[in-house]
Amino acid sequence: NAFHDLLTGLANRSFFLECLDQAHSHTKRQPDYTFAVLFLDLDRFKLINDSLGHTAGDQLLTTVARRLEACLRPTDRAARLGGDEFTVLLEDIHSLSGAVHVAERIQAQLKSPFFVNGQEIFTSASIGIALSTTDYDQPEELLRDADTAMYRAKALGKARYAIFDPEMHTQAVELLQLETELCQAIAKQELQVHYQPIVCLATGQITGFEALVRWQHPNRGLLYPADFLPTAAETSLGLTIDRWVLAQACSQIQAWQVHFPHTPPLSISINLSSLQFGQPDLIEYIDQVLQETGLAAESLKLELTETALLENSVVITSTLSKLRDLKIQLSVDDFGTGYSSLGRLQNFAIDVLKIDRSFVSRMDRESSTPASAPIVETIVTLAHNLGLAIVAEGVETAAQLTQLQQLNCEYGQGFFFARALDSMAAEMLMTSVSQGQTPWQLPTLIQTN
Ligand code: C2E
Ligand code: CA
Ligand code: CA
């Protein structure tokens, strides 16, 4: 028991480190002896654990351990370090390609479905590879570097392997610094919510805003989500940020609804990560925010990407029906970039489709291949048949706007109207609208019938 992980029967951390130590001494004595360490982390394990329960999580880990063993030679050693982290020591391999080969074999093994609690679930793993050929003083450094490479594999989109190179170490240190700074950013009030108007294309009226998070970094200036959300998503910070944005934006829109009365009242659209949707207390949290801010549930729209929706359909279906009961609306973000069919989307209680910017931006370019205008037209028609409203993202030109109007697309959002604005600028915009000034000129529609 002192050497083994009780759940899976694989080696435990201390035994693994001992084996690593021996392999390391071996290389010191016999320099042409090479070994490799694989660091393996399951993708989305937390989601499975949180939604299906710990017993199911344990079953999954045990099955993964068996499949892992099936990929190894008798001389190799697999271990579970804890949680969903596994390591493999590959003794006496002759080249990097030997280690890569094993990583690929493991990934292929994990591809077939797992049956847990009578349910079929899919998982994948991100794998980092470190080779003993780098000059290491301490065997633990190999483990650290394989771990770093594993993080790279995750960042590159998961379900893949990455091979360690020293540049990764430098970047890992920078990443750690970003994470530390981000941790304090909320407390130091460096995060901000910016608001991008969503406009009714027939009238030019602002119907609501999308909340987009920004970080006013003390040295690096204004940072955009792409600069820090991926890092945040690696830790619980992602969840914290999303919840902070939700509370902040709900309270802001409630205040604007009072100042700038509209029929229907201004709505607020909030982006939520798929991990957030898997949180068991999400509904409770949203309900609490609505009560504290006094915002009507009908004014809140949650945005979820289509990939996130389909990836976790088991978990999400129950969350969605609870949201529906509360009368909160749901938008599918970046629509058209995933692989879903509208037919499958029908299974979810969805209210709005947001057509991805990549289609809208190519609409007015005749030379673009493939031509995107017919794609947009198809999405609009199908969405209308399903009773869904459409928001076109990334409207930048009057020509795009005209085309969207002709297709009867209801709403638009994009730089043609406004960028995401801080609270003050958004207020100035609404003030000028309420004083009868039109901030943007809608193109005059040529009647075609
Ligand atoms: P998104 O949800 O697709 O948001 C729209 C993005 O497109 C925003 O980028 C917006 O500034 C940009 N955009 C809007 N109109 C135009 C246009 O006409 N042209 C171009 N080129 N871009 C336009 P941003 O603010 O950098 O946000 C990027 C992504 O980060 C968002 O994509 C969203 O997925 C994510 N995000 C932003 N805030 C949050 C948040 O609070 N929580 C979560 N989970 N994700 C967030
Ligand atoms: Ca969005
Ligand atoms: Ca989007």
Strands (E), 94-172: 114-116, 119-121, 125-131, 161-163
**pLDDT value for 368:** 63
Q: How far is the CA of 333 from the centre of ligand 3 (A)?
A: 5
**pLDDT value for 14:** 95
Per-residue pLDDT of the chain (449 residues; tens, 9 = 90+): 789 999 999 999 999 999 999 999 999 899 889 999 999 999 989 888 888 899 999 999 999 999 999 999 999 999 999 999 999 999 999 889 999 999 999 999 999 999 988 889 999 999 999 999 878 889 999 999 999 999 999 988 899 999 999 888 888 888 888 888 998 998 899 999 999 999 999 999 999 999 999 999 999 999 999 999 988 887 788 999 999 999 999 999 999 999 999 989 999 999 999 888 888 899 999 999 999 999 999 999 999 988 778 776 667 778 888 999 999 999 999 998 876 666 667 777 889 999 999 999 998 877 666 678 888 999 999 899 989 999 999 999 999 999 999 999 999 999 999 999 999 999 999 999 888 888 888 887 655 54
Share above pLDDT 90 across residues of the chain, in percent, rounded to a whole number? 69
Ligand 1 binding pocket includes 245 (Cβ within 6 Å): yes
> What is the bridge-based pairing of β-strands 300-305 and 221-223?
unpaired
Ligand 1 atom 21, closest CA = 394
Ligand 1 binding pocket includes 115 (Cβ within 6 Å): no
Q: Structure tokens of 325?
A: 């009961």
Ligand 1 binding pocket includes 420 (Cβ within 6 Å): yes
Ligand 1 atom at shortest distance from the alpha carbon of 212: 38
Ligand 1 atom 17, closest CA = 394
Report the distance separating Cα 163 and Cα 151, nearest Å: 11
Strands (E), 52-190: 77-82, 85-90, 114-116, 119-121, 125-131, 161-163
Give the number of residues written for the chain. 449
Ligand 1 atom 38, closest CA = 212
Q: Do residues 16 and 86 make contact, with C-beta atoms less than 8 angstroms apart?
A: no
Ligand 1 binding pocket includes 390 (Cβ within 6 Å): no
Q: How far is the CA of 193 from the centre of ligand 1 (A)?
A: 12
Q: Do residues 252 and 195 make contact, with C-beta atoms less than 8 angstroms apart?
A: yes
CA–CA–CA angle 261, 264, 266 (5° rounding): 60
192 Cβ contact list (under 8 Å, min separation 6) = 213, 214, 215, 216, 422
Amino acid identity, residue 361? S
Ligand 1 atom at shortest distance from the alpha carbon of 276: 44
Ligand 1 binding pocket includes 394 (Cβ within 6 Å): yes
Ligand 1 atom 46, closest CA = 271
- pTM of this structure: 0.74
Ligand 1 atom 34, closest CA = 271
Residue given tokens 């960042």 in the structure block: 155
Ligand 1 binding pocket includes 305 (Cβ within 6 Å): no
**pLDDT value for 449:** 46
Q: How far is the CA of 271 from the centre of ligand 2 (A)?
A: 5
Ligand 1 atom 45, closest CA = 271
Residue given tokens 């088991």 in the structure block: 314
Q: How far is the CA of 9 from the centre of ligand 2 (A)?
A: 44
Instruction: For a ligand 1 pocket test, name from 236, 245, 269, 271 the mutation site with the most ligand atoms within 8 angstroms of its C-beta.
Output: 271
Q: Do residues 350 and 324 make contact, with C-beta atoms less than 8 angstroms apart?
A: no
Nearest ligand, measured from the Cα of 245: 1
Report the distance separating Cα 143 and Cα 38, nearest Å: 8
